[in-house]
Structure 1
Amino acid sequence: MIRHDFAHPLRVDAASHQIARTDYARHVSQLVKQLLLTSPGERVCLPEFGCGLRRLVFAPQSDALAATVRIQVQQAIDRWLADQVELLDVDVASGAATPGSGLDEGAMLITVSYALVETRTPDSVTVRVG
């Protein structure tokens, strides 16, 4: 059975005039991005939802910041998406720590590797912050 879910962000499909739908893997990928880029307090009905990565953009980049980001991402995924994904790895690269990577000095590149719970297929999402 092929599962389809609502697309994020929620929108109307121009062709069908219905709410846009997407396949399961893409839906979960969109949920992970949404979780990473939402700050706690941003949603009225779920004030604790989010990861809070944007507030760390101006923090001095160091190994401690990378470890903090890794822990925040792991905790947020375990809390909000544990029924959708099995977390495999969180990789954090910062522009200050990896010169020549193409990242600005204040930017971070976060890659979340996971397996879909329903299908056991591996996938990953990469988000740039800053």
Structure 2
Amino acid sequence: MDIDFPLHYDARGRTAEASIDEHVRDLIEQLIFTNHGERVNRPDFGSGVMQLVFAPNSPELAATVQFTLQAALQLWLGDVIDVSDLSVTADDARLVIDLAYVIRATGQATTARFERGL
């Protein structure tokens, strides 16, 4: 078992644990929503999505996020997951990220959706 994110305690007062599937999803979420320069000793960690909060939402923005996110996933989580499909869409005031991936350790195919309002 791995430590759950965000860090919290379970009902027994111990550090909450997560399954491998939950842990990998947590890693992806951390990567997507961490800004460059936010991590100590890892200034290039993150995808930069949150820096685009005040950018005008458009298909061009979605395409830019898709390319930068694909590169970030390969760089930081390439040893943990194989990305099968990644699509980023601009939907009104939201940016929606749909990700299909295979967890290398288990071979399990998984999908996840991440979204934030812009």
* TM-score, L = length of structure 2: 0.90
Larger Rg: 1
CA RMSD of aligned residues (A): 1.4
Deviation readout 1:12-38 (Å, 9 max, x if unpaired):
2231x3221111001001110111011
Equivalent position SS for 1:19: coil
Aligned residues: 117
How much does 1:67 deviate?
Answer: 1.3
How much does 1:78 deviate?
Answer: 0.5
Residue ranges of structure 1 left out of the alignment (5+ in a row) = 96-104
How much does 1:48 deviate?
Answer: 1.3
Q: Which moved more, 1:51-60 or 1:24-33?
A: 51-60
Deviation readout 1:71-91 (Å, 9 max, x if unpaired):
111111101111110011111
Q: Name 1:12's counterpart in structure 2.
A: 9
Equivalent residue in structure 2 for 1:30, among 26, 33, 42: 26
Q: Name 1:86's counterpart in structure 2.
A: 82
d(CA) in 2 for partners of 1:109 and 1:64?
A: 14
Q: How does 1:3-82 map to 2 (within 5 A)?
A: 4-15=1-12, 17-82=13-78
Which aligned runs of 4 or more in structure 1 are off by greater than 4 angstroms?
Answer: none
Residue ranges of structure 2 left out of the alignment (5+ in a row) = none
* TM-score, L = length of structure 1: 0.82
